[in-house]
């Protein structure tokens, strides 16, 4: 078996000439949206890697973040968050589907750009944050939008879907002690994770109509820059399908895990302890810092560090992406390096006696993370701000099973990579 290798497929062209912060792959179409310091969002085709349209005029400062609303029929809905403290909602009919550019047949799409731009309809501006918006995330159903900012708050908005673009503020959470850098919804449940400048990761759920913190993880020693959830269906690599089945049974109890990356140069994986096995001795206030007299203890959750991924970055790690398809994790940061990690099941050794270690609620089946591939200087001398997995679309249907990495950098460039195994 050849050594796994990350190799460049293409740049997205033409790029922004200013720092690009983030690239969001569309949930169903082969397109991505990229957010730039030049106050615009560019939409590119993943079929021919060309610019399809540019969303301008909505924000007065850098566009820091964006996210596609899932489960929308016939239309694409994009939420954008900006340093101008506002969140924009944009709509566009899905004519890209019939557009020749998306099939890669048409080389020149730039001529039609002026017309395409107008097709993005500015729907509504969500005003509420006091300072720069850092991250936005749609809940798995698409009903809820979470936004966060330097004002230390997280807002949850409900999309009323009333045809009139009305959003209602559902909750404002202000427990974070500093900028909230990232928010990310659980892939299945209505559970929100957030991370920030106060070095913590917090988990939030609704209980009796009230959104509240159910866990606070204090283990990173620097700003938590990004969070991503494990897909509900991926599995660690193993020769043995028996082991994989056993692992799946265990995982079913605790649900998808969460991965975080930080200024402290670490990538960590977190796992919820199944409620049934939570230690009775553990005080619930330890998890949230809130005395259980105020919060019903039933909602508190215990999150444990599941893994510290192998050290691979020399500077701050700005983004981490957990493939929903393959279970691989990719990370990028200020050192300009792409790192891909793979989780492998460790065959239980017959000698190891469970009694040797302290009695624990940890699943008996262990995994280990290994570095699968590294690419240095992926954007030359520039820092990378974001990485995402997307479905490969440039070679027709046979590539449907393959995933690509999309990386975003300080010079404005966005690059598309394949992982050859």
Residues that bind other proteins in the complex, under the rule CB under 8 A: 19, 37, 61-62, 64, 83, 131-132, 134, 150, 179, 181, 197, 223, 263, 314-316, 318, 334-336, 376-377, 381-383, 410-411
Q: What is the rounded CA–CA span in Å between residue 90 and residue 79?
A: 6
Q: Say how many C-beta atoms besides its own lie within 10 A of residue 30's C-beta.
A: 21
CA 361, 365, 371: angle at the middle one, nearest 5?
115
Point out which residues pair with 127 in neighbouring strands: 86
Can you list the alpha helix ranges (DSSP code H) found in 123-168? none
Both structure tokens of 349: 């050794």
Cβ closer to other proteins: 83 or 322? 83
CB of 386 to other proteins, least distance (A): 12
Instruction: Evaluate whether 64 touches 96 at the Cβ level (below 8 Å).
Output: no
Smallest gap from Cβ 46 to other proteins, in A, equals 27
CB of 177 to other proteins, least distance (A): 12
In the bound state with other proteins, the residue whose beta carbon lies nearer, of 117 and 132, is: 132
Q: How far is the CB of 376 from other proteins (least distance, A)?
A: 6
Cβ nearer to other proteins, comparing 170 with 316: 316
Residue 334 C-beta: closest distance to other proteins, Å: 7
Nearer to other proteins, 133 or 201 (CB): 133
Task: Check: CB of residue 368 under 8 Å from CB of residue 344.
Answer: yes
What is the C-alpha separation between 341 and 404, in angstroms, rounded? Answer: 15
Contacts (Cβ under 8 Å, ≥6 apart) of 55: 33, 40, 41, 42, 43, 78, 80, 90, 117, 120
Instruction: Please report how close the Cβ of residue 221 comes to other proteins at its closest, in angstroms.
Output: 11
The nearer residue to other proteins, 239 or 314, going by C-beta atoms, is 314
Q: How many CB atoms lie within 10 A of CB 27?
A: 14
Closer residue to other proteins in complex, CB, 61/362: 61
* CB-nearer residue toward other proteins: 179 or 306: 179
In the complex, least distance from residue 44 CB atom to other proteins, rounded to whole angstroms: 23
- Sheet with 5-11, strands from edge to edge, namely 5-11, 414-420, 403-409, 384-391
CB 230 within 8 Å of CB 258:
yes
């Amino acid at each position: 078996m050849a050594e796994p290798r990350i190799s460049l497929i293409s740049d997205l062209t033409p790029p922004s000439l200013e720092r690009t912060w983030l690239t969001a792959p569309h949930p169903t179409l082969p397109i991505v949206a990229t957010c730039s310091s030049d106050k615009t969002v560019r939409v590119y085709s993943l079929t021919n890697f060309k610019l399809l349209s540019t969303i301008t005029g909505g924000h007065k400062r850098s566009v820091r973040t964006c996210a596609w609303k899932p489960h929308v029929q016939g239309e694409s809905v994009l939420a954008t968050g900006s340093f101008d403290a506002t969140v924009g909602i944009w709509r566009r009919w899905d004519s890209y589907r019939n557009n020749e550019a998306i099939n890669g047949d048409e080389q020149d799409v730039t001529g039609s750009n002026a017309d395409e731009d107008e097709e993005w309809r500015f729907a509504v501006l969500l005003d509420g944050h006091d300072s720069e918006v850092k991250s936005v995330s749609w809940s798995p159903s698409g009903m809820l939008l979470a936004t966060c900012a330097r004002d230390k708050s997280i807002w949850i908005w409900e999309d009323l879907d009333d045809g009139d673009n009305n959003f209602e503020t559902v909750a404002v959470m202000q427990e974070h002690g500093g900028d909230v850098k990232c928010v990310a919804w659980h892939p299945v449940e209505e559970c929100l994770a957030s991370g920030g400048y106060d070095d913590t990761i917090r988990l939030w759920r609704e209980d009796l109509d009230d959104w509240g913190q159910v866990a606070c993880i204090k283990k990173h020693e620097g700003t938590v820059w990004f969070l991503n959830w494990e897909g509900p269906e991926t599995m660690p690599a193993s020769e043995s399908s028996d082991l994989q089945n056993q692992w799946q049974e265990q995982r079913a109890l605790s649900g998808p895990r969460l991965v975080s990356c930080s200024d402290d140069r670490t990538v960590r994986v977190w796992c919820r302890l199944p409620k049934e096995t939570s230690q009775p001795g553990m005080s619930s206030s330890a998890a949230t810092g809130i005395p259980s007299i105020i919060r019903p203890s039933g909602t508190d959750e215990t999150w444990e560090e599941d893994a510290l991924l192998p050290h691979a970055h020399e500077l701050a790690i700005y983004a981490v992406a957990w493939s929903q398809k393959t279970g691989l994790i990719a990370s990028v940061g200020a050192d300009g390096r792409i790192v891909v990690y793979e989780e492998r099941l460790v065959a239980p050794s017959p000698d190891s006696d469970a009694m040797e270690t302290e009695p624990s609620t940890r699943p008996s089946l262990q995994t280990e993370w290994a570095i699968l591939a590294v690419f240095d200087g992926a954007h030359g001398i520039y820092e990378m701000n974001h990485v995402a997995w997307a479905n490969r679309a440039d070679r027709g249907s046979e590539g449907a099973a393959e995933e690509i990495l999309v990386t975003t950098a300080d010079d404005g460039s966005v690059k598309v990579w394949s992982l050859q195994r």
